Structure 1
Amino acid sequence: MTESHEPGNAHSARAQPAARKRSRTVAICAFVLITVAGLVLAVSCGDSSGGGDEHGAQRADGSSRPHSSPTPRKIWNREPDSLAAVGDSITRGFDACSLLADCTEVSWATGTAPGVDSLARRLLGDPEGTSWNYAASGAVMADLPGQMRRAAARKPDLVTVMSGANDACRSTTGRMTPVADFRTDFRAGLRALRGDAPEAQVYVSSVPNLKRLWQEGRKSPIGQRVWGLGICQSMLKDPQSMAAADRERRQEVQDRVVAYNTVLKQECAKDLRCRYDNGAVFDYRFTEAELSNWDWFHPSKKGQRSLAELAYEEITARRPTERG
């Protein structure tokens, strides 16, 4: 029985070295495969990252991948030395001092009256000789290119634009300036300025909230009678009526003003030296004391001062104010 086990023991003795050899061979092969797989994986990962030079991935030397050209930054000097104003009757101080008359000395932009403390006084100290007012009562956006050319001839550091209210203030809503035309006219105005004054900064005020002015001014019996003479009938006609047709008419004007302001924001954003007020004037809630005692619609001297404060804050801010 003992000898019968010897052949088996001899076979086992011979088999063990062979098994160990096979194990070493398998281990070596596995090591090689793992190493090769690792190299393949490394190469594959390198390819997927784009190979820094071709696709801009982080390079092995730590340098950053190339990027597309950054968006040009706005250029803005918060301390201009000269100023030209363009726009409509608001910038002319219309009905702020007397009935149906301009009063530029109280203009929010270029006025000299201490009580208003205009933008020009705040920025320049003495506005004489360094500020000019080319706004015109009754002007619409189509008049902007001509006003801009006159302003550009002065080579001002800053041009203020407050225009668009008269494009919405028409005899009927059907006569309001179409939004596409408004955009074309504003673009033409900027081009006209850039033709002769390429480095002038432009500050663009939003169109005032005409519906808010109606809400405030309709409280005055005198204002209602004056409005009946034909002021901004698209908004102010039948000021006490709450009929559906009148509410719809006022909302149509409101929507048009909002669309105008969207145009101003979009087009101004394309110009490196243009800053839009982001709705500061539109959002401002004018009080009764800030409206003209003559027509209850245009800004009074106090209202002009408020406009000057808004503009000064926006122009001297490090960055444009963000509003909802």
Structure 2
Amino acid sequence: MVRRTVTLVTGAAIVSSACLVFPGHASAATWSPGVMAALGDSISAGFNACGWYVSCTSRSWSAGDNSTVNSHYLRLRGGSRESGRNLNFAVPGATSADLAGQARQAVRKGVEYVTILIGAQDACVRDEKNMTPVATYRRNIGAALDVLREASPPVRVFVASIPDIKRLWSVGKDSTLARTFWSVGQLCQSMLWKPTSTAKADRARRDRVRARVVDYNAALAQECAAYGPACRFDRNAVFSYPFTLDHVSKWDFFHPNAEGQRIIAERTAFVLRGWDLPAPVPEEAQR
């Protein structure tokens, strides 16, 4: 693995310095990549955002072209839907171990900018003992970023935090439908198993899984900082958002629906542009 430093002061970095930084906040409002790509898992693939257990890349928060979601792609290109400018290599079920392969696909296509949102599947396993260790997760992220940095020119990167899956449990545990889908679909059992249990062991298990996601997000922030000024982390903008059941698919009560995808697109785009994040809509106002 290539050694990563915050400054990236190498001969190659000096030659291509214009490609190694994002525009400053003053000019970021008009910056637009030539070709961008979504990397990650089912969230970036738009899984269940438009149909029954299918990927809906058009509604991806990252590279989708659906006007309702108003993705990164559309926001950065002023609404233009020019063909071939938005690629999506995200795969439902992907973990951090798959990210380097996706990065290689993006580099082969000559992308200038990628978004990364991955890690929910590293924590959402059948048994918490099978969660990806934090050190392994960080190495996997670093390996993928190495691929992007070694591209010519290096790729700009935006890293989104993993959503708070304990928040999902909290807002869905009292819903019979949500509990049914979680059980039948065996979804994220490390967190969602026995959702109504108040036993000490189950409360502790949920806390440990949430702590693992917090640690993953810290690793994302650290690896992004090590990549240098060509990478921006969302400062936990996705993780901290108070998502409700109105933001998830009614086909599984797990994946973001179009409105959930829109919120991720909005919050991450605000961070990329250097703007203040909009205040979340009060939960009672969403109903």
**Distance apart, 1:199 and its partner CA:** 2.5
The 1-side partners of 2:242 and 2:129 are apart by 27
- Once the two structures are superposed, what CA deviation does each residue of 1:294-315 show, in whole Å capped at 9, x if it has no partner? 1111101100111110121111
Instruction: Find the residue that maps to 1:313 and give its secondary structure.
Output: helix
| Aligned pair partner of 1:295 in 239, 252, 268 | 252
> Which residue of structure 1 lines up, in the alignment, with residue 137 of structure 2?
182
User: Could you tell me the TM-score, scaled by structure 2's length?
Assistant: 0.83
Say if 1:121 and 1:127, in contact at 8 Å, map to a contact too: no
The 2-side partners of 1:318 and 1:210 are apart by 26
> Which residue of structure 1 lines up, in the alignment, with residue 14 of structure 2?
none
Bigger proportion of residues as helix: 1
Query: Is 2:209 the partner of 1:253?
Result: yes
Query: Is 2:51 the partner of 1:98?
Result: yes
The 1-side partners of 2:153 and 2:189 are apart by 38
Query: Is 2:147 the partner of 1:211?
Result: no
> Which residue of structure 2 lines up, in the alignment, with residue 112 of structure 1?
65
Say if 1:204 and 1:276, in contact at 8 Å, map to a contact too: yes
Query: Is 2:116 the partner of 1:161?
Result: yes
> Which residue of structure 1 lines up, in the alignment, with residue 154 of structure 2?
199
> Which residue of structure 1 lines up, in the alignment, with residue 83 of structure 2?
128
The 2-side partners of 1:120 and 1:197 are apart by 22
Say if 1:211 and 1:250, in contact at 8 Å, map to a contact too: yes
Paired residue type of 2:21: I
Say if 1:120 and 1:127, in contact at 8 Å, map to a contact too: no
Say if 1:278 and 1:320, in contact at 8 Å, map to a contact too: no
Say if 2:64 and 2:86, in contact at 8 Å, map to a contact too: no
The 1-side partners of 2:140 and 2:274 are apart by 28
Paired residue type of 2:245: E
Paired residue type of 2:268: A
The 2-side partners of 1:147 and 1:286 are apart by 28
Instruction: Find the residue that maps to 2:102 and give its secondary structure.
Output: helix
| Aligned pair partner of 1:150 in 101, 105, 126 | 105
Paired residue type of 2:205: R
Greater CA drift, 123-132 or 291-300: 123-132
**Structure with higher RCO (Cα < 8 A, 6+ apart):** 2
**Distance apart, 1:198 and its partner CA:** 4.1
Query: Is 2:267 the partner of 1:310?
Result: yes
The 1:274/1:238 distance shift into structure 2, 3 A limit, reads same
**Distance apart, 1:222 and its partner CA:** 1.0
Say if 2:148 and 2:154, in contact at 8 Å, map to a contact too: no
Say if 1:88 and 1:136, in contact at 8 Å, map to a contact too: yes
**Distance apart, 1:98 and its partner CA:** 2.1
The 1:319/1:99 distance shift into structure 2, 3 A limit, reads closer
Identity %: 42
The 2-side partners of 1:309 and 1:137 are apart by 22
Instruction: Find the residue that maps to 1:98 and give its secondary structure.
Output: coil
> Which residue of structure 2 lines up, in the alignment, with residue 225 of structure 1?
180
The 1-side partners of 2:124 and 2:275 are apart by 34
- Once the two structures are superposed, what CA deviation does each residue of 1:16-51 show, in whole Å capped at 9, x if it has no partner? xxxxxxxxxxxxxxxxxxxxxxxxxxxxxxxxxxxx
Instruction: Find the residue that maps to 2:142 and give its secondary structure.
Output: helix
Larger Rg: 1
| Aligned pair partner of 1:80 in 15, 32, 43 | 32
- Once the two structures are superposed, what CA deviation does each residue of 1:199-231 show, in whole Å capped at 9, x if it has no partner? 211000011101001111223211101100210
Query: Is 2:236 the partner of 1:279?
Result: yes
Say if 1:217 and 1:297, in contact at 8 Å, map to a contact too: no
Paired residue type of 1:80: S
- Once the two structures are superposed, what CA deviation does each residue of 1:93-118 show, in whole Å capped at 9, x if it has no partner? 11112222111111111111111111
Paired residue type of 1:83: M
For structure 2, list consecutive stretches of 5 or more residues without a partner in the other structure. 1-5, 10-19, 279-287
For structure 1, list consecutive stretches of 5 or more residues without a partner in the other structure. 1-69
The 2-side partners of 1:276 and 1:237 are apart by 31
Say if 1:80 and 1:157, in contact at 8 Å, map to a contact too: no
The 1:320/1:227 distance shift into structure 2, 3 A limit, reads closer
